[in-house]
Amino acid sequence: MNRKIGVAVISAVALFGGAIVGSAPAYAAVTPTLVLAERAAVVDLGPVFITATASTAGSVKFSEAGVVIKGCEAVATTTVSPFIAKCSWTPTKGGPTVLSGTLTPTDAVNFTAVDAQLIVKVGVPQQGTMSPISIYVDQVLATGATGPLAPRFGTGCNVTTQYILGQKIVFRIFANNADEGGVAMDPRNTAKATIEISGIKDPQPLRYGNHAGGAFWTYALATGAAPLYNSLGVINFKVTFTAKSTSIVKVLSTKRVLVRDAAGAPVLDDAGKFTFKRISFYRNRTLSQPIEGATGSYTPTWAATGSLLTLYALPTA
């Protein structure tokens, strides 16, 4: 009778595909899921929170470029679904980097460890050459632009990077010179100002003028049928400024001034005495040896589609 019962138990185990290990059945461990995410990262504007979402509870080890992030060696997930762990990460430099996470499940019997990776791009400052001269450039549609679509897309002074063949692109350029205390560059302190555009043989001189009460440098690029500019696609360009040599520079200084209230009356302290404060200002300084004019340039380095200056063909429909 006992022999028959033993045979029946073994047969039942075989029927349901189980295996006896000690007194409990053994199953193959499941590989859980792990997904990493982060917000757009910008240098020195962190910390940035990296979020790991798992399909089971456990702890997550976060790393950047293979190096464990300090304080994120074993971050516990929440105890209920969705199982989330967060790591506070501060980027140290711009450019692409690889973030990774390793989940160690709390239930190590039924779940295996799992890794996940995420490639992120930390913001790289956009700038020209390393020079005392700083340059800013944008483009606007010229007032009264011609072309088949001018009635619809012909509003002047719209700032945009996308143009249609037949429209006129006006480059607006602003430059400052740190050698002269950050003053704006104009014909009085500028020896040369040019723009180089792909498809145009020679560098083109910039013009300085008054535009509705604001003075800055410009270059107008007329597009259309030859001989006008008609190279479709991204318009690569480079702006270059060379300052005149100077023997007078602005130097940052400080001075002590009397504190006054909103009505202009001197402010007195508790003892009835005048109060003072220190303020900064620029003063002119004459140099025994002139400073050779610096040269600075700017070339846009945007990588995102649609951000670079682009010329499109007239739509056919």
Specify the 3-state DSSP secondary structure of 132.
coil
Give one DSSP letter per residue of 175-214, joined into a string: EEEGGGTSEEP-TTTEEEEEEEETT-SS-EE-EEEEETTE
pLDDT of residue 11: 36
* Other Cβ atoms within 10 Å of 72 Cβ, number: 20
pLDDT of residue 131: 82
Tell me what the mean pLDDT of segment 170-176 comes to. 95
pLDDT of residue 51: 94
Tell me what the mean pLDDT of segment 179-194 comes to. 92
pLDDT of residue 38: 77
| pLDDT tens digits, 251-289 | 889 999 999 999 999 999 999 999 999 999 988 889 898
What CATH architecture is 28-122?
Answer: Sandwich (2.60)
Apex CA 197: angle with CA 193 and CA 202, to 5°? 70
| pLDDT tens digits, 102-116 | 999 999 999 999 999
CA distance 208 to 210: 7
2.60.40.10, 2.30.140.10, 3.40.50.1980, 2.60.40.420: which CATH number matches 133-243+294-312? 2.60.40.10
Q: Where in the chain is the domain with CATH 2.60.40.10?
A: 28-122, 133-243+294-312
